[in-house]
Amino acid sequence: MPPNFDAPELYLNRELAQLAFNARVLAQAEDANVPVLERLKFLCIVSNNLDEFFEIRVAGLKEQIKYNSSVSGPDGLTPRLAFKAIAQQAHALVARQYALLNDGILPELAQQAIRFLRRTQWNAAQSQWVKEYFFREVMPVLTPIGLDPAHPFPRVLNKSLNFAVELEGKDAFGRNSGTAIVQAPRVLPRVIRMPAAVAGCEYGFVFLSSVLHAHVGELFTGMNVKGCYQFRVTRNSDLFVDEEEVKNLREALQGELSHRHFGNAVRLEVADNCSPEMAAFLLSQFELAPEDLYQVHGLVNLVRLMQVPLWVDRPDLKYPGFVPGLPASLAKDGDLFAAIRRQDILLHHPFQSFAPVIEFIQQAARDPQVLSIKQTVYRTGTDSEIMEALIEAARSGKEVTVVVELLARFDEEANINWAQRLEQAGAHVVYGVVGHKTHAKMVLVVRREEEGLQRYVHLGTGNYHPRTARLYTDFGLFTVHPEICADAANVFMQLTGLGKAGKLLHLWQSPFTLQAKVLAAIRNEIAHAKAGKKARIIAKMNALVEEETIKALYEASQAGVQIDLIIRGVCALKPGIPDISAHIRVRSLVGRFLEHSRIYYFHNGGEEDIYLSSADWMHRNLYRRIEVAFPVLDPKLKKRVVKEGLMPYLKDNCQAWEMTLSGDYMRPGSRRGKRYCAQTELLDLAKPAK
């Protein structure tokens, strides 16, 4: 009897898998081999990830529960069951996080003369400094709100810092409500550096919450403060814009952005000193249940500590600095167009510099022989040399077309601002296709040369964002291959114009061919395995959750295809199931850099087909986004992708995790005492030869 590939026990829950990924990130913060300021960063990254997790994923589940949805995912969990399991694991993860902060990281930082001074520890000089700071910087911008019929509970911004104050006594008007709310304006820093002479160490910090706690009584003259409790509410931040109904997507999105601050509450964080009565009161105000309450020992927003490693000049407590390398083909030639004409150029970020990508667009903007530039923009940052170059090109009269994805989550405002500036400069700005986010990473330059018009293309797995290019692992390819360039031109025509999807010769594109091509490549490996030939699949990406792809991989494993999956985050597939996934191994690597590149490798009878892509194997990437996967055709570059992008990650026994049959992750452990760290090896490989 053939196996039932729809059986729930063959799949893992997406949300629980996402929490498991954050547990692996937290393990980096727990690792004594990681420099302590980097450990603090990882701790903050977990908090930032959890914020988005609650704002989007938990918020979505709560909406389903609100409407009594009993529809389950492939794992068989209904929204209510999934939420119950999520709440249990999220509370455990947060407890583990704060225990590490208070018992591990903060004491270790204190040993290095980096101290966070608590109210109970202040000496007279420190108390005086805090008092002066409060009256000079804090009190003038505070607006305490006493709760009574004339002053209802205020609107609380998403993820803002607030204080609930319990009072006794009567004010000047004879009122005695007993409760007030103090909202901390976002203009106030949450972490404040104290002068070294006062702090008694080079780096001494106090929290805004401590400053306000110490002097909150100044806001309520003549009344007695019984308690002051910091709290923070997380809200549903998923934007809804009916793209088919609006006439101007940008205007509709601008109107919707402000609503993000006041969506339905999904989580309440309070300090551990919060009284049960006040916690219950706050829960009722936000219409939340007890399981939505997270009572923490410390700051209610650890993300604010992310700035501390930037302020502290202690290289010995951080990862060693590095200078990204350059391919030999670019090291001596300043003319990028000439270099790309000679051969395809592959860049592996951050081990190799992102500067050539910026220079490519800047040279195109300045070059009088360049006639047009077309580019997709998903995330690029508020300060971007690339966008400035495109504006310069448009002003100089070049034909500039930019496909700006306005619905890039949490980057909407920056993208709207760039779209406006580009339009003002004379560029053509389009927002892709209704109902499909444009996630593909492409630049197409047309240049007039002696032989006629020549196309140049850059295709990538990561965003055109110089800062993240130093933090994320990604690949980028420069090529003048005529058929690949023609494919890219056709994709741009689809994005800006109207008409049927044309046939692409080399690019796999969602939502049209990418899924079908991936499934066909998997089935091709199945055919090789059944014919007794070597069959191998290696896939590296951020997430694997799409059911048809998982079923095809299960079928391939049954046929004897050796499958290695390097999935950084969420993987819904279970490896090692007898007779179903016995030939599948799943690994996740969490290290100094965020693993972001997507690589699809199919042995194909020795041809070794290799595709790089912007797409994970998820429903949204395969069906609801414009994505491309592009082949690496040059044999030398193919070997590089395998050597740098795949094999080190299969060999890693330092930062890798292997999924077990139960869906848990375990460290593989080093053999014979030899530690191999993929990212460290790649940094060494990229160093320029002396």
**φ/ψ (deg, to 5) at 338:** -65, -40
Q: Is the pLDDT of residue 244 over 50?
A: no
Please answer whether residues 582 and 576 qualify as being in contact, where contact means their C-beta atoms are separated by less than 8 angstroms: yes
pTM score of the predicted model? 0.92
Give the fold, CATH level 3, of 509-686. Endonuclease; Chain A (3.30.870)
Q: Is the pLDDT of residue 34 over 80?
A: yes
Tell me how far apart the alpha carbons of residues 640 and 648 are, in angstroms, rounded to a whole number. 11
- According to the model, what pLDDT value does residue 431 have? 82
Please answer whether residues 205 and 192 qualify as being in contact, where contact means their C-beta atoms are separated by less than 8 angstroms: yes
Please answer whether residues 598 and 461 qualify as being in contact, where contact means their C-beta atoms are separated by less than 8 angstroms: yes
- According to the model, what pLDDT value does residue 330 have? 84
- According to the model, what pLDDT value does residue 245 have? 43
Tell me how far apart the alpha carbons of residues 210 and 72 are, in angstroms, rounded to a whole number. 45
**The domain at 328-503 falls in which architecture?**
2-Layer Sandwich (3.30)
Give the model confidence (pLDDT) of 267-276 as tens digits. Answer: 999 999 999 9
pLDDT band of 382, cuts 50, 70, 90: confident
8-317: CATH number: 3.30.1840.10
Q: Is the pLDDT of residue 689 over 80?
A: no
What 3-state DSSP class applies to 690? Answer: coil
- According to the model, what pLDDT value does residue 476 have? 98
Q: Is the pLDDT of residue 75 over 50?
A: yes
Mean pLDDT of all residues belonging to the chain? 91
pLDDT band of 246, cuts 50, 70, 90: very low
| 439 part of the active site | yes
Q: Which of 348, 349, 436, 439 is catalytic?
A: 439
Q: What residue ranges do the domains of the chain occupy?
A: 8-317, 328-503, 509-686
Q: Do domains 328-503 and 509-686 have the same CATH topology?
A: yes
Give the model confidence (pLDDT) of 612-637 as tens digits. Answer: 999 999 999 999 999 999 999 999 99
- Which helix (H) or strand (E) element contains residue 568? none
Give the model confidence (pLDDT) of 435-483 as tens digits. Answer: 788 999 999 999 999 999 999 999 999 999 988 999 999 999 999 999 9
Give the model confidence (pLDDT) of 488-519 as tens digits. Answer: 999 999 998 876 777 999 999 999 999 999 99
Residue found by looking up tokens 């005529």 in the block? 482
Give, as one character, the DSSP assignment of residue 274: -
Preceding amide of 149 cis, omega within 30 = no
What 3-state DSSP class applies to 352? Answer: strand
Q: Is the pLDDT of residue 252 over 50?
A: no
- According to the model, what pLDDT value does residue 241 have? 45
What is the rounded average pLDDT of the residues 526-530? Answer: 98
In one-letter notation, the amino acid at residue 221 is T
Q: Is the pLDDT of residue 125 over 60?
A: yes
- According to the model, what pLDDT value does residue 150 have? 57
pLDDT band of 243, cuts 50, 70, 90: very low
Q: Give the least confident one: 80-94, 428-442, 529-543.
A: 428-442
Please answer whether residues 525 and 603 qualify as being in contact, where contact means their C-beta atoms are separated by less than 8 angstroms: yes
Tell me how far apart the alpha carbons of residues 267 and 641 are, in angstroms, rounded to a whole number. 43
Ranges 291-305, 332-346, 393-407, most confident: 291-305
